[in-house]
Every structure is written in structure tokens, then in C-alpha cells.
Amino acid sequence: MSVTNFNVSRETLKRLKKFENFALLCNKTQNLYSKRDVAVFWERHILDSLKINDLLKGEEVVADVGSGGGLPGIPLAIVNREKRFILIERREKKALFLVEAKRVMGLNNIEVIKKNFEEITNIEAKVFVSRGVKLESRIIAHSRKLVKKGRYIYFKGQSFDLSKYTFLKDYKTEEKKEILIVYL
């Protein structure tokens, strides 16, 4: 079956649908996602999260900074069972959701860390991803402190303007449609 620009097995597609159903069920009581996104959850959240899948080739460990409702980390972990994903979330409610999603989905390749990203002093990941998190100099600087020669893959919003992020002048960057890659 085709999901975005790559093929996944029927079993993987079932797991992605299971996560969608679980996330939407939890959203009724936990308000994890915008109500206007519920009708387009598959396209706006699942498929969008998978857009960076090809950028993760060769990576063994990926850190999702500000994972919130598990995006993009959980869909990526479902598709890449051989990789480890570290989901970092500072808010208790959302961290508990991530732990429960890991359990319900049987995702042994996920580790949930309930901390502010800047409190982390050691991490195995060489690539960081974030979606729906404000791009700030302190986050990029902390990423660089944690790992040399890594990457920070950022999902850009519709009104993203790279020229407004002057702190990135010290970094090599690459823009790909809705994605910004910052080389640490």
C-alpha cells in the first residue's frame, strides 16, 4: 500500500490507522490536537509526519523534540521499527499520552522522556525532529551542544520565512518544500 511517496505493508498501514483511531479517541478527553484537524487527521498529521522518512535513512536513533501528541515520532516509529525514537515532552498530560500510546501500539522502539529539552544533558540521537514547535535559537544551540555533526529537521509552517531567523546564519541550512534542515 502506498503512503506518501513510499510503500508500506498492509500491517504497517493497519498500525498507522490504529494510532489514528487511538489518538482521536484520546483527543476527545485530552485535547491533544485541534478540533478542526480531526476530520483531516490522516492527511494533516499522519501523512505529514511521514514526509521526512527518507531523510532518516542511515539513522539509528531519532529524537522528537516537543513530541506533544506523538507527531511526527509515533508515525515514524511505526514505519521504522528498526530505529529507536526518543520522544521528548515536558508537559505531564502529553507525556502520559505518549507512554500510553507506546503501550497500546506495542512500540518497543520508543522511549518517552518527560523533560524540558534543554534539561537533557546526554542523548544518543544524531538527528532531531520537531513539528508544531516554535523554532528558537536556544533549541538549535542546545541541539548542537548535545551532538556535533547532527541535523535538526524542522517542519515549517505556511508563513515560514527563513530570513526572519537570523540566528540560523551561523548554521548551514537546507530548505525542502515544507521542511528546514539545520546542520549542527
The CATH number that applies at residue 106 is: 3.40.50.150
Confidence class of residue 3 from pLDDT cuts 50, 70 and 90? Answer: low
**Does residue 36 have a known ligand-binding role?**
no
In a domain, residue 167? The reply is yes
Domain count along the chain: 1
In a domain, residue 35? The reply is no
In a domain, residue 21? The reply is no
Residue 7 C-alpha from the chain's centroid: 20
Measured CA to CA in angstroms, residue 133 lies from 4, 67, 88, 154 at distances of 23, 9, 12, 8
Number of residues in the chain:
184
Confidence class of residue 157 from pLDDT cuts 50, 70 and 90? Answer: confident
Residues 89, 112 contacting (CB under 8 angstroms): yes
Question: What residue numbers bound the domain in which 168 lies?
Answer: 48-183
In a domain, residue 29? The reply is no
Going by DSSP bridges, is the β-strand pair 127-130/61-65 parallel, antiparallel, or unpaired? parallel
Q: Where does the chain show beta strands of DSSP type E?
A: 2-3, 6-7, 61-65, 84-88, 110-113, 127-130, 151-155, 172-176, 179-183
Confidence class of residue 1 from pLDDT cuts 50, 70 and 90? Answer: very low
In a domain, residue 4? The reply is no
Q: What pTM, to 2 d.p., does this model score?
A: 0.94
* Closest CA relative to residue 65, chosen from 134, 147, 128: 128
In a domain, residue 25? The reply is no
Residues 173, 149 contacting (CB under 8 angstroms): no
Give the CA-trace dihedral at 100, 126, 76, 178, to 10 degrees: 120
Give the pLDDT confidence score for residue 2 in this predicted structure. 46
Average pLDDT of the segment spanning 48-77: 98
**Does residue 71 have a known ligand-binding role?**
yes
Per-residue pLDDT tens for 85-120?
Answer: 999 999 999 999 999 999 999 999 999 999 999 999
**Does residue 70 have a known ligand-binding role?**
no
In a domain, residue 103? The reply is yes
Confidence class of residue 58 from pLDDT cuts 50, 70 and 90? Answer: very high
In a domain, residue 131? The reply is yes
